[in-house]
Amino acid sequence: MAAMNPGSHDGATLHCIFDPLCGWCYAAAPLVEAAREVPGLRVELHGGGMMTGANRRAITPQWRDYVLPHDRRIAELTGQPFGEAYFEGLLRDGTAVMDSEPPTTAILAAESLRAGGALDMAHRVQRAHYAEGRRIADAEVLQALAVELGFDGEDFAAAFERLSGEATARHIEASRALLRRVGGQGFPTFVLARPDGGASRVDIGPWLGRPDAWKAQLASFAAPSAPSAPGHPTLGSCGPDGCAI
């Protein structure tokens, strides 16, 4: 999950700048999963810390009213599941806090223990939040999710503690610097770095809900002599400090 360096890998790399509490990142999760199946393509996650520090927030009725239409649109466009435990449980729990830092630390911890662990953990925390209505800012929940994914509980807890605080803050700052460098406006931002050293943003709007078509297109984008990936109007995104459509 390092900053983008197109020269550091013999094949192509798809860089995904995202946040675990970004609804449109959840919309794009099937595309990330499909990208993992493209031969020779590496997928790297960069957590942008959308809800960290002063941007952390408690769930309120106003927040629920704000996110519900966005979530319903995402479900219609992509088929991503949103559970009753989320709509009628978590989004009505005024004691729950939306904080991107702990799940970002968990994603870093998972990658430190197993190659590909970041992607496994990212998908699991998204599903835990949106489908299961679980508090993914709670260390106990993250520990349970890690064990579900086959990580040793003690090893994960040690990695989580080691990467909490300063290490996670450095990662978030590097991700935001990458977002600025590639001219991204929010989350998710996808950047394809090709073997020839070229790199271009890939707008995912046309591919939402179409992971098989996306997978086929990525294979051509990733070829050494491929032209820059075409741009398209995006359907929605989350800015560095919150989501909008």
- 88 occurs within a structural domain: yes
Query: Measured between alpha carbons, how far is 9 from 11 in angstroms, rounded to an integer?
Result: 5
- 216 occurs within a structural domain: yes
- 124 occurs within a structural domain: yes
- 1 occurs within a structural domain: no
- 38 occurs within a structural domain: yes
Q: Kindly state the DSSP code that residue 107 receives in the 8-state scheme.
A: H
CA distances from 94 to 65, 99, 135 (A): 13, 14, 12
Q: Which residues have C-beta within 8 Å of that of residue 66, sequence separation ≥ 6?
A: none
- 196 occurs within a structural domain: yes
- The mean-pLDDT minimum among 13-22, 128-137, 151-160, 213-222 falls in 213-222
Statement: residue 233 has pLDDT above 50: no
The angle subtended at Cα 49 by Cα 166 and Cα 19, nearest 5°, is: 135
Q: What is the pLDDT of residues 11-25, one digit of tens each?
A: 899 999 999 999 999
Whether residue 80 contacts residue 140, with contact meaning beta carbons closer than 8 Å, is answered with no
Specify the number of domains making up the chain: 1
pTM, entire model: 0.89
Q: What is the pLDDT of residues 93-119, one digit of tens each?
A: 999 999 999 999 999 999 999 999 999
Q: What is the pLDDT of residues 59-88, one digit of tens each?
A: 999 999 999 999 999 999 999 999 999 999
Statement: residue 30 has pLDDT above 80: yes
- 105 occurs within a structural domain: yes
The sign of the dihedral angle between the CA atoms of 202, 236, 82, 175 is positive
- 89 occurs within a structural domain: yes
Q: What is the mean pLDDT of the chain?
A: 89
Report the CATH number that the domain containing residue 175 is assigned in CATH.
3.40.30.10
Share of the chain above pLDDT 90, in %: 81
User: Which residues form the domain of 85?
Assistant: 6-244
pLDDT at 5: 45
